[in-house]
Amino acid sequence: MLPLYAVTLGLGALLLFWVQPMFSKMVLPLLGGSPAVWNIAMVFFQATLLAGYLYAHLGQRYLRPKRQAVVHLILLALAFSALPIAVAADLHPPNDGQPAVWLLVLLTLSVGLPFFALAATAPMLQSWFAYTGHRDAANPYILYAVSNFGSILALLAYPVLLEPVLTLGQQSLTWAVGFTLLALLIGACAWLLLRRYQSGGADQRALDEIGLSAQVDWPRRLHWLALAFVPSALLLGVTQHISTDIASAPLLWVIPLILYLGTYVIVFARRPVISRRVAAFIQVPMVIILALLFFWQIRYLRLVLPLHLTVFFFIALVCHGELAKRRPVPSRLTEFYLWMSLGGVLGGAFTALLAPNIFDTVMEYPLALVAACLLRPRLDQAPMTALKALPLAILVALLVLPRVAGYDPDDFDLPWLLLHLLPMALLAYGCRRRPLLFGLAIAAILSSGAYDDRSDEIAISRGFFGVNRVVARGSGDSSVLVFKHGTTKHGVQYTDPARQRIPLAYYHAKGPMGQVLLALDNRFDQVAVVGLGVGTAACYERPGRQWTFYEIDPLVVTLARDQGHFHYLTDCAPQARIVIGDGRLSLAREAAVGNNAPSFDLLILDAFSSDAIPLHLVTREALAVYLSRLAPGGLIMFHISNRHINLRPVLADLAADAGIVAYVQRNHPKGRDKYHYGSSWVAMARTARDLAPVLASAPAASPWKMLKAKPGRRVWTDDYGNLITITRTWSRWQGDQSVD
């Protein structure tokens, strides 16, 4: 019986975590790559999950097991009406740029009922198991560990197995088959429940009596809420921090989520591999070290990333361990999960929706760290004598790790460390058994900001797309302002007014894009750029040229044009047209409306150098949109410089599929101009003759090379894409010579 319930819950969790990325990917070509789309989808899924838990709780509270089973089987039958999952054909996105309500309606109609049924399955089946009379029925929470293991399996399987092999249509059909199998398994669980419940007697009546007499007061409920809130907030906070301030990479968000779910697997297991006491004591030195190093600009990612992830893991393990310790009797199980779910939803909403509107940096992360310290259990003595050496270990870590991790020795303030921060660290360690004092000590260390040197920061803004910074670099004639989004530089300009019209960075005159604009200067009357940056391209202006910039982030437009920091747009092309919105959708929408949409002689796509790649811009359907807006003899330029993604194979396949030509140039500047950034560009045109002047303009050291498609490799479409195989790590492992 236990294996049946375990397999059913594992499959349900796998389907639950599979449908979220699958359907979000279906919607992407309709609404573009706005983070608002992802946030709205996440809010919907979390709210529906909470609704499913509420339904399960009300069912357990007001219905006997037989009626619970009948009602849930009817719900599963109704959910089949929405299968296979697809975007409703008769729903079209609005043209007012406010798709929130439309997306919520689409999600509800397309996936709402199946997702709701899946969400309710986990708590309901665990409550059913408590009535079966099985020897483990008194502890149905072990099934929660199995459920979270299924979630982890889905997270690993989707990018590695499902996405590379199946199109979205095939995924939807396979998912429907899995849902059908799940319904059959739930039916089997219901049959066993009814058979055992009707023939059981004492055990079941005793369980019901415990449920009626076991009271759960409000302090206990609020404690459940807080213990679920903090790890959920910290999950998104640490993900945002490591992707914004350390190193963003594709699928990096999966690692914290797997660790988060893994802590549930550990604490609700029959025999946890890490005890509460061990987790609580390991948490102390890890949090102290992280707090002391939090604002150091350490470059050694192999140290910094594991440190953040390890601290997050032990914080989540401690909080979830306290949840497991405080779980109620089985007949209160669904209420327990309801409060856990509510805490998770509120924690996610705080980090994803509230924090970006009240903090200009990722402040929610250190706040969640402090809150986690306040929720520590009060433990009287350490589980092992070795922990008495932790103060010395902390000192050694503070003296050694920054140097090993690449921190600039000239900026290593040892006196400040020894006289100020080290005493605070020892004080925090001394307060480890008192959560309130320990939390306040960690807050004091974090708030000191001893290593947060923001003296060169000119401006900062934060929105749906992350944190934008303008920082000053250099001195004298070489002083510049740099626009950074997270860890990626998106534009540079001299501060000297006499040099402010000189294009720098990726648009340097000696770079690939500069070569094209200078070689074909008289051919480009209509130029479009997808991805504004700071508007550097505008300083290749000449009389009669019309510029159109497409930018998805309104804050970038404000920064590039309206705040007085950068002057490329205002000095070189003040009449440039700026369209706010997703580039692909805006180009298609203008053509569909037919309001004299111009054909472009040059279309520049500069939206790929960030670490969050808008993959819907490099599909067969996307290229068809670009070609429909391209004038005869026109060129399409893709800026593909990226630390983690190799887009050459994708673009080679797209060009071959469309019957056009494509060339790539990787520019390696060897001069002393430190503001001439190396970059990779792909040039596409309908015929090789259209590209002839461009090919001839390249220096001998950096020639343009033809991109050739690999026979048998699948072309990316809106229905198919494979992120794993275009990561540079994968490409090098496969021996792909196209990797820089």
Q: How many domains does the chain have?
A: 3
What integer pLDDT is reported at residue 451 of this predicted model? 45
Q: Can you tell me the distance from the alpha carbon of 491 to that of 533, in angstroms, rounded to the nearest whole number?
A: 6
266, two tokens: 């550990």
Q: Above 70 in pLDDT, residue 173?
A: yes
Decide if 334 contacts 57 (C-beta within 8 A): yes
Q: Above 80 in pLDDT, residue 421?
A: no
Number of H helices, E strands in the chain: 28, 12
415-419, 571-575, 693-697, range with the lowest pLDDT: 415-419
Helix or strand holding residue 603 (H, E): strand 600-605
Q: Above 50 in pLDDT, residue 597?
A: yes
Last residue of a domain, one of 189, 213, 237: 213
More confident residue, 295 or 373: 373
Q: Can you tell me the distance from the alpha carbon of 128 to that of 65, in angstroms, rounded to the nearest whole number?
A: 7
Q: What is the pLDDT of residues 47-74, one digit of tens each?
A: 899 999 999 999 988 888 888 899 999 9
Please compute the mean of the pLDDT values over residues 276-300 and round it to a whole number.
79
555, two tokens: 């804050």
- Mark whether 221 and 206 lie in a shared domain: no
**b/e sequence 105-144, b meaning 16+ C-beta within 10 Å:** ebbeebbbbbbbbbbbbbbbbbbbbbbbbbebbeebbbbb
Decide if 533 contacts 490 (C-beta within 8 A): yes
- Mark whether 435 and 518 lie in a shared domain: no
What integer pLDDT is reported at residue 201 of this predicted model? 43
- The highest-confidence range among 23-32, 129-138, 304-313, by mean pLDDT, is 304-313
Residue 469: inside a domain: no
57-66, 421-430, 520-529, range with the lowest pLDDT: 421-430
What integer pLDDT is reported at residue 98 of this predicted model? 62
Query: Which DSSP state fits 272?
Result: -
Residue 482: inside a domain: no
- Mark whether 149 and 277 lie in a shared domain: no
> What is the CB neighbour count within 10 angstroms for residue 66?
13
- Mark whether 271 and 419 lie in a shared domain: yes
Decide if 63 contacts 71 (C-beta within 8 A): yes
**Residue 451: strand pairing partners:** none
What integer pLDDT is reported at residue 186 of this predicted model? 96
Q: Can you tell me the distance from the alpha carbon of 336 to that of 347, in angstroms, rounded to the nearest whole number?
A: 17
Q: Above 90 in pLDDT, residue 639?
A: yes
- Mark whether 445 and 539 lie in a shared domain: no
pLDDT, averaged across the chain: 84
Q: How confident is the model at residue 36 (pLDDT cuts 50, 70, 90)?
A: low
- Mark whether 531 and 449 lie in a shared domain: no
Residue 466: inside a domain: no
Q: Above 50 in pLDDT, residue 408?
A: no
Q: Can you tell me the distance from the alpha carbon of 455 to that of 210, in angstroms, rounded to the nearest whole number?
A: 62
What dihedral angle (degrees, nearest 10) is formed by the CA atoms of 562, 564, 568, 570?
Answer: 60
What integer pLDDT is reported at residue 552 of this predicted model? 87
- Mark whether 401 and 501 lie in a shared domain: no
CATH number at residue 166: 1.20.1250
What integer pLDDT is reported at residue 381 of this predicted model? 52
Where in the sequence is the domain holding 342, given as residue range(s)?
217-453
Please compute the mean of the pLDDT values over residues 27-42 and round it to a whole number.
73
Residue 717: inside a domain: yes
Query: Which DSSP state fits 456?
Result: T
- Mark whether 288 and 184 lie in a shared domain: no
93-102, 156-165, 226-235, 400-409, range with the lowest pLDDT: 400-409
Residue 273: inside a domain: yes
Query: Which DSSP state fits 615?
Result: G
Residue 468: inside a domain: no
More confident residue, 492 or 593: 492
Q: What is the pLDDT of residues 664-712, one digit of tens each?
A: 999 888 777 888 988 999 999 999 999 998 898 888 888 999 999 989 8
Q: How confident is the model at residue 433 (pLDDT cuts 50, 70, 90)?
A: confident
| Distance from chain centroid for Cα 446 | 25
What integer pLDDT is reported at residue 670 of this predicted model? 76
Helix axes 65-79, 35-62, angle to 10 degrees: 150
What percent of the chain has pLDDT above 70?
Answer: 84
What integer pLDDT is reported at residue 245 of this predicted model? 57
- Which pTM value belongs to this model? 0.84
- Mark whether 186 and 227 lie in a shared domain: no
